[in-house]
Structure 1
């Protein structure tokens, strides 16, 4: 039986409210060494913003990152998993949706974690190059 998502996810993901600015999200990403922040409204997941979103949807469009709220550029149509889903389900959803990370939410749609393709690679053992890449320290 494959492990559960809760066994491999990063718990307590970084979150910011919908009205936080891109500048705030970029600082969190830099300070935490991560590439995404979950966006919430009233404690419930409503989007995700990545470092790429900030570059492509804001900087490249000459938006002022200190004034632009996350709600203007975050991805709002999300595929999520629950902590009790198995890692096979998470991998299938990543393939079907062509995404590298999935927010993990509880029954009330509150974010409790995030699972990325690297987490699944490490969980599935030392098959192929992805587990080694995923275990490597960040290059920042």
Structure 2
């Protein structure tokens, strides 16, 4: 099975200079917990609901003036639509991440592959493997 068969579409993203108050509103409206962050038509990082809590609220930052790029996790791990889902799962395991942006052959963001997508599409063994790897407690 290829990633395109398991991913969910569409995939939203935010500009690096988007205030985190707007990021939070978009997450709420779309009922999602993470958004890729872009600059100059390139993905540069990810921002999660956890980032908002730990890097904005817990540090007393102003959500209206703090930008997505200030609190995002830099760098981005992605997969391709044509990639076997097992390869994408192994990427998630190795990096201990729960969501992968999916790009097409034109290097455009077209979807996201999350643990829930895997649970609905992959075998029980693969699903258990990735959940165990990404949910493992940090040392």
Structural RMSD (CA): 1.7
With the length of structure 1 as denominator, give the TM-score of the two structures.
0.83
Do the aligned partners of 1:36 and 1:51 also contact (CA within 8 Å) in 2? Answer: yes
Q: Secondary structure at the match of 1:67?
A: coil
**What is the number of residues matched between the two proteins?**
127
Task: Find the counterpart in structure 2 of residue 93 from structure 1.
Answer: 91
Of the three residues 65, 71, 74, the one matched with 2:72 is: 74
Provide the rounded CA distance (Å) in 2 between the counterparts of 1:63 and 1:82.
Answer: 35
Name segments (4+ residues, structure 1) moved above 6 Å: none
Q: Secondary structure at the match of 1:114?
A: strand
Task: Find the counterpart in structure 2 of residue 11 from structure 1.
Answer: 9
Provide the rounded CA distance (Å) in 2 between the counterparts of 1:44 and 1:107.
Answer: 14
Segments of 5+ residues of structure 2 without an aligned counterpart are 129-139
Segments of 5+ residues of structure 1 without an aligned counterpart are 132-140
Provide the rounded CA distance (Å) in 1 between the counterparts of 2:13 and 2:37.
Answer: 6
Larger mean Cα displacement after TM superposition, 80-89 or 41-50: 41-50
Deviation at 1:107, TM superposition (A): 4.4
Task: Find the counterpart in structure 1 of residue 122 from structure 2.
Answer: 124
Do the aligned partners of 1:91 and 1:117 also contact (CA within 8 Å) in 2? Answer: no
Deviation at 1:42, TM superposition (A): 2.0
